[in-house]
Structure 1
């Protein structure tokens, strides 16, 4: 490890560090985005991915007492046919910020992601991404020092489920059903088609998709599919993490994915599946729905969500360096 700092030592992470990493991430969450928390399961999942080598890709900063006070994860997206996307992800415990630890950490992450890209031997276009919550200006500054520049803003939006839901009726030939596990692969294929022209999106590989749909948070009863002749043409997938409820101040569902396959756009399918999910969440006793949206989406998604009663709460910026 090349990272050095007078107050901490750096070492690779192992699966035995999951709880310590989660403690640091949770402390940072309360400062950086106080309305939601990172579940332990999400961190544990990283150590199970076949394309992640913790000994090379995950770095921890260790205090003299042995506590994890910062973590960083460098990741190259496993879908590499068209473009190479690498990601810098990490955080420093709030009590240890402004001591230069983040500077050391992100420099190591940047070096590791450039190595990952070079190791592919690919001539495809490559880019390094860093996502930063709007209030964390220090993290954005660190990225900018490495040549990353803000290319996009994403808004978190929230909806009060006590307000009436006014969705369109299903048109002839469209069947609206809850998500079921037997359609997992069909929904993945629909997701990859729907997001093919979205900024910064690459196909979701089977391994990561399985972690999502088979994980503890996806709620099939709240998630909605639109079918035409049995084909999945639109989807709204929602999850529930009860740890978020205290942070947000209300029982809520998070809408992870909304999409319409490209050859069926313009038929009102997105508001159709979203409305059914909102109604199901309300009927389940939840009080709020939350989602994130690209503010410059070509699909006009943010305008659609506003029409459905969502209101922006805070933003996240995407910084990119294209190589």
Structure 2
């Protein structure tokens, strides 16, 4: 990581931003909420090719467009064919939290029917330049990261990222566990209780997540807005999630470990079985070494098993500082496809 005492706005040049020009795109324009239906058609088509067993939800797309981390008029771009079909879409979002870096995330896709014609290359170039504009306006004397994730199945997207100047920096592995196999419950220490997540513990779970992930690669604090988007989405399941809580000296409940679960039933048909996704697993730093990680994981797995769900999935950093990937293997998770994180650092 680059260490600097110079503000980003004093060291990053702001490029001219021009709309792409491509013969297959009749019109480029900023996205609006009126495009949501068309964007979902586009995302569904891309998902079937890039990661057929995991689909993008409407809530994810809508929350991305509504997020205060971007302005739709300047930070989104969609391309339409002459017949008005949405062919491509891209989003540029500057993370609100800036603890150790200023991070800008790029998300986008091209309809599989129109891939291989240079549309993705032009869209990614526009996104990269818009991200550089955002970084060039930042007063923070911090490293600037432009980040783009690519799925295992999207080889063209991986090549595009590399040609656009991004460096493959990290691997994330998808892991899966069959819940037909018995779950051996591990009890936590006496003064900690494992319970389902409830509304009163949502904010404490966010603070726990931020503490637990402080030393994880690419992680910045999660804002209340982003946490609210996740925990209030139709797919998020408080009843299946599990948190370990302790009583503070003030008598309040504090989350010290968590396994937070979402269920996207649209994935079940493509996968051929029912499954749940564990969004986050973590233990706060002052409770590490107390076997809370296996305790909270087994509690979540048992909740899924009791609900009749057949498999649990999660993603893990291949170089996790807490050794999470090894822990998951010991608990019966099997590694599957990889995801790739690319970074352009300025």
Contact 2:264 2:276 in 1 (8 A): yes
After TM superposition, the structure 1 stretch with the greater mean CA deviation from structure 2, 141-150 or 251-260, is 141-150
Q: Which ranges of structure 2 fall in alignment gaps of 5 or more residues?
A: 1-17, 248-252
1:224 partnered with 2:242: yes
SS in 2 for 1:226: strand
Of 197, 207, 231, the residue aligned with 1:189 is 207
In structure 1, the partner of 2:155 is 137
1:287-311 Cα offsets, whole Å, 9 max, x none, are 0111100011010101111111111
How much has 1:121 moved relative to structure 2? Answer: 2.6
Q: Is the 8 A contact 1:225 1:233 kept in 2?
A: yes
Q: How does 1:127-276 map to 2 (within 5 A)?
A: 127-229=145-247, 230-276=253-299
For normalisation by structure 1, the TM-score amounts to 0.98
Q: Which residue of 1 aligns with 2:132?
A: 114
Structure 1 residue 167: Cα displacement = 3.5
Runs of 5+ in structure 1 lacking a partner?
none
How far 1:205 moved relative to its partner?
0.5
Q: How big is the shift at 1:185?
A: 0.8
The whole-number CA distance in structure 2 between the counterparts of 1:62 and 1:292 is 33
Aligned to 1:2: 19
SS at match of 2:239: coil
Runs of 4+ residues deviating >4 angstroms: none
What's the offset of the Cα at 1:145?
Answer: 1.4
Alignment counterpart, residue 67 of structure 2, candidates 24, 29, 49:
49
Please, which moves more after superposition, 196-205 or 208-217? 208-217
Alignment RMSD? 1.0
1:305 aligns with 2:328: yes
Shift of 1:75: 1.0
Contact 2:99 2:221 in 1 (8 A): no
Q: Distance in 2 between matches of 1:153 and 1:311?
A: 16
Question: What is the CA deviation profile of residues 30-86 of structure 1, one whole-angstrom value per residue up to 9, with x for unaligned ones?
Answer: 110111100111111122212221111111111110010111111111112431011
2: CA distance, partners of 1:2 / 1:252: 41
CA distance in 2, matches of 1:268, 1:181: 26
User: Match for 2:317 among 294, 303, 319?
Assistant: 294
Distance (Å, rounded) in 1 between the aligned partners of 2:292 and 2:85: 49
Among candidates 6, 11, 15, match of residue 29 of structure 2: 11
1:100 Cα offset (Å): 0.6
* Equivalent position SS for 1:221: strand
Instruction: Work out the CA distance in 2 between the residues paired with 1:98 and 1:214.
Output: 38
CA distance in structure 1 between the partners assigned to 2:139 and 2:327 by the alignment:
41
**In 1, are the aligned partners of 2:102 and 2:144 still within 8 Å (CA)?**
yes
Deviations 1:273-298 (Å, cap 9, x if unpaired)? 11011111111111011110001101
Partner of 1:320: 343
Structure 1 stretch 213-222 or stretch 151-160: which is displaced more? Answer: 213-222
Assess if the C-alpha contact under 8 Å between 1:179 and 1:225 holds in 2.
Answer: yes
Separation of aligned partners in 2, 1:215 and 1:136: 27
* CA shift for structure 1 position 10: 1.3
Distance 1:120 1:10 in 2: 27
Shift of 1:190: 0.5
**2:38–2:86 contact (8 Å) kept in structure 1:** yes
User: May I ask how many residue pairs the two structures share in their alignment?
Assistant: 323
